[in-house]
Amino acid sequence: MRTTRQLSLGGVKIGGGAPVSIQSMTNTDTNDAEATLAQIRELAAAGCQIVRCAVPTIRTLDAFERICAESPLPVVADVHFDHRIAVGALERGAACVRVNPGNLRGEAEAREVARTAARLGKPVRVGVNGGSLNREIAARLGKTAQAMVESAEYYIRIFEEEGCRALKVSLKSSDLRITLEACRMFAARSDIPLHIGLTEAGPVSSGIVKSSVAIGTLLLDGIGETIRVSLTAPPVEEIYAAQRILEAVGLRQASPEIISCPTCGRTHGDMLSLVAQVEREVRRIQSSGKRIALRKIAVMGCEVNGPGEASDADVGIACSAHGGILFKHGEKVATLEKAELLSAMIRELEDATLR
């Protein structure tokens, strides 16, 4: 894990050893404060920690101000082209603004945003992507990772010269390898926290795969202080995907990890529905606000993959030809009828439940 400076985004700590936080972005019309707030509440309930809203025009600031005042989450204003919107958003309640300085009118405008953020003690996300490189740097280096990093450093200098040091940086390309290279290069050269994710990740099925590869690879390298999974899907799907990525790399344990064998010709019983039922029970218990104090649970289709391969599960069930077994840490603790498997697992889940 690299050492990063810490900033506070409306109370959510980013960098400096804070847990990796999860962001999303509303896709309602920001002018419709009611609809946007409803979506933010839904995102918060799903586990989102920071939310971003597009503020496309000065006129949108009225609704945006109300959203900031009533939002249960800190709100980041997403601003392009017009620095006056960024300044206005900061003055009217944004916890942070995201600008791509490369698409503001010029350097003077970027400096004005920086001075406003510094005066109000609010952080700024400096975004660099394929579409907003510094022009001179892009001309010299092309659309490369090096150009992205040098563009970011160029803009960081401007912000820091104006006294704005609470910065996070995003480096995003729709090319996964360039994104990875840019983030690694930047991480090796700077202590500024990185916001990671892929931009324009495409349809949800391939978007989840691309984001998992990109974000997962960086997190495993210790890079990334806050993440957003971009999906062309309802925003709450982004939160679920982000949580799964953090769980996959071992950075978060929202719920017991469920391991199950891929079904094969040895499988006894209807594994797919058994796994789905166990998953549903875990969610049911957790949605009542309880926590299940188990690290791993297993649902296995046969004795081959049962206690042996899932010996690191706290509790597991494995089907056999005529029934099944309950096992704990690799040891069989009970032989069961087929019809008892699910209820035995539910009993174990509830026994391990804490308020």
For residues 142-161, which are near its own copies according to CB under 8 A? 143
Residue 278 to residue 296: CA distance in whole angstroms? 12
Q: Which of 240, 318, 319, 336 binds its own copies (CB under 8 A)?
A: 240
State yes or no: residue 231 binds its own copies (CB under 8 A).
yes
Binding track over 185-204 against its own copies, x by CB under 8 A: --------------xxxxx-
State yes or no: residue 263 binds its own copies (CB under 8 A).
yes
Q: Which CB, 266 or 347, lies closer to its own copies? A: 266
Candidates 2-10, 50-58, 144-152, 182-190 — which segment interacts with its own copies by CB under 8 A? 50-58
Instruction: Output the smallest distance, CB 236 to its own copies, in A.
Output: 13
State yes or no: residue 230 binds its own copies (CB under 8 A).
yes
Q: Which CB, 5 or 92, lies closer to its own copies? A: 92
Q: Cα 43 vs. chain centroid, distance in angstroms?
A: 12
Instruction: Output the smallest distance, CB 119 to its own copies, in A.
Output: 26
Residue 99: φ, ψ to 5°: -125, 150
Residue 40 to residue 70: CA distance in whole angstroms? 10
Q: Which of 19, 47, 56, 323 binds its own copies (CB under 8 A)?
A: 56
Q: Which of 308, 335, 337, 350 binds its own copies (CB under 8 A)?
A: 308
Candidates 11-19, 89-97, 182-190, 229-237 — which segment interacts with its own copies by CB under 8 A? 229-237
Phi/psi region, residue 119 (left: phi>0; alpha: psi -120 to 50; beta: rest), is alpha
State yes or no: residue 338 binds its own copies (CB under 8 A).
no
Instruction: Output the smallest distance, CB 264 to its own copies, in A.
Output: 4
Binding track over 166-185 against its own copies, x by CB under 8 A: --------xxxx--x-----
State yes or no: residue 266 binds its own copies (CB under 8 A).
yes
The per-residue DSSP string of 300-347 comes to ESSTTTSTTTTTT-SEEEEE-SSEEEEEETTEEEEEEEGGGHHHHHHH
Q: Which CB, 261 or 325, lies closer to its own copies? A: 261
Residues of 57-83 as b/e, b for ≥16 C-beta within 10 angstroms?
Answer: eeebbebbbbbbeebebbbbbbbbebb
3-state helix, strand, coil in the chain (%, to 5): 45, 20, 35
Instruction: Output the smallest distance, CB 354 to its own copies, in A.
Output: 22
Q: Is 235 in a helix, a strand, or coil?
A: helix
Q: Which CB, 94 or 201, lies closer to its own copies? A: 201
Question: Restricting to residues 70-89, which ones interact with its own copies according to CB under 8 A?
Answer: 78, 80-81
Site of tokens 């150009």: 147
Here the contacts of 309-313 (C-beta below 8 Å, separation 24 or greater) are 309/261, 310/259, 313/259
Closest CA to 95 of 18, 214, 162, 14: 14
The per-residue DSSP string of 22-52 comes to EEEE--S-TT-HHHHHHHHHHHHHHT--EEE
State yes or no: residue 139 binds its own copies (CB under 8 A).
no
Q: Which CB, 8 or 23, lies closer to its own copies? A: 23
State yes or no: residue 132 binds its own copies (CB under 8 A).
yes
State yes or no: residue 212 binds its own copies (CB under 8 A).
yes
Q: Is 162 in a helix, a strand, or coil?
A: coil
Q: Which of 131, 141, 291, 332 binds its own copies (CB under 8 A)?
A: 131
Q: Which CB, 232 or 335, lies closer to its own copies? A: 232
The per-residue DSSP string of 81-131 comes to S-HHHHHHHHHTT-SEEEE-GGGSS-HHHHHHHHHHHHHHT--EEEEEETT
State yes or no: residue 253 binds its own copies (CB under 8 A).
no
Question: Restricting to residues 311-330, which ones interact with its own copies according to CB under 8 A?
Answer: 311-312
